[in-house]
Amino acid sequence: MIQSPGILTTILAFVLVIGPLIFFHELGHYLAGRLFGVHAETFSIGFGHEVAGWTDRRGTRWKLGWLPLGGYVRFAGDMNPASQPSAEWLDLPPEERARTFQAKPMWQRFIIVAAGPVTNFLLAVLILGGFFWAYGDPRTPAVVSQVSPGSAAAAAGIRPGDRISMAGGRSVDYFEDLANIVRIHPDEPIRLDVWRGGRQLHLTARPHRVIMEDRFGNRAEMGLLGVAPGPQVIVPIGLGAVPGVALRKTGDVVVTMVQTLGQIVTGRRPVSELGGPVKIAQFAGQQMSDGWVSFVLFMAMISINLGFINLLPIPLLDGGHLFFYILEGIRRRPLRPETQEWAFRIGLAILLPFILFVTFNDFGLWQRLAGLIG
């Protein structure tokens, strides 16, 4: 087992991961706003008291807050959480009001809000694409080379030479796809489409539940099928094929996140696997100690997470705003301001306990409390 990096390396790695990802997220909002003529009053990385900042020639205040756990762009006229017109907004001169967020049609506001999460996904695609272009795509044919005795694969009837084409309803092109699917289904039956001697078989396997520990001592629960693949090959990826490969990999990560989150919500996976800023910092420090390639790939994974979480239809998140815009488009009129205000209060009531919960998880406080109670 390798000793985890020190606290200074961990803090530095966290800042180097979160800082740029927040910047690009907010930059997406900012650039989309500029595209539609909305004036940005403030562009902040971090919350709380301003540590440093400057005002550009357009009148936008760019600043750093002392708490680097988020950021925001405040557009002109954005005077309340629901972004609804107020008396102050109505008193603005017509030319100033035209440059405010509320003055824009619904479809433009939708794009401005969606641009943040979309930028996080695009950044991940860019990082992954650069990796595949520089190093190629490691691929292992989904053909079974060995089957471990007593394994879930043996019990399902899988044999050496079988080619697995589908698992759990998802297509399997390479052995890496199979491993990703099996990993998140411990002790759950999954259907396997297997080709053997020109015939297609439909088998059902129940991956064994195992606790895996990495070289830093991090433990995770995952499924194990008990098969070994043949040799891996590195496939060079041409520049024209890079976007498609990177988009597919990004989509695979999102699908895995959705399935894993569903397992946590339904109780099939322990909630202890949910992590917050402290766990991100811990993993960031470990990946930095592994080298810049591991660190940059980790940044891509966190960028996908940030984009995905912000698209959840929870008030106060970008996804909550987008959900209200969709309702506005269906109803042909916005929801009442009072309704939106109450929705954002409910969103705050959901998010604050969740933040406290994952922070407890990060420090292992739930396990300690359970130990004291037991």
Q: From CA 76, how far away is CA 23, in angstroms rounded?
A: 19
CB neighbours of residue 40 within 10 Å: 24
Distances 318 to 39, 71, 336, 347 between C-alpha atoms, Å: 19, 13, 19, 12
Residue whose tokens read 């094929």 = 241
Q: From CA 153, how far away is CA 204, in angstroms rounded?
A: 9
Q: From CA 287, how far away is CA 322, in angstroms rounded?
A: 34
Answer left, alpha or beta for residue 157, where phi above 0 means left and psi between -120 and 50 means alpha.
Answer: left
Active-site residues, by number, are: 26
Q: From CA 162, how far away is CA 308, in angstroms rounded?
A: 36
Give the three-state DSSP class for 332: coil
101 closest CA partner among 71, 126, 66, 77:
77
Roughly what angle, to the nearest 10 degrees, separates helices 337-363 and 277-290? 50
Give me 92's structure tokens: 């603005």
Answer left, alpha or beta for residue 43, where phi above 0 means left and psi between -120 and 50 means alpha.
Answer: beta
Give me 19's structure tokens: 């800082």
Q: Supply the DSSP string of 108-168, one letter for each residue.
A: HHHHHHHHHHHHHHHHHHHHHHHHHHHH-EEE-BSBEEEE-TTSHHHHHT--TT-EEEEET
Give the three-state DSSP class for 334: coil
- Report CA 110 to chain centroid distance, whole Å: 20
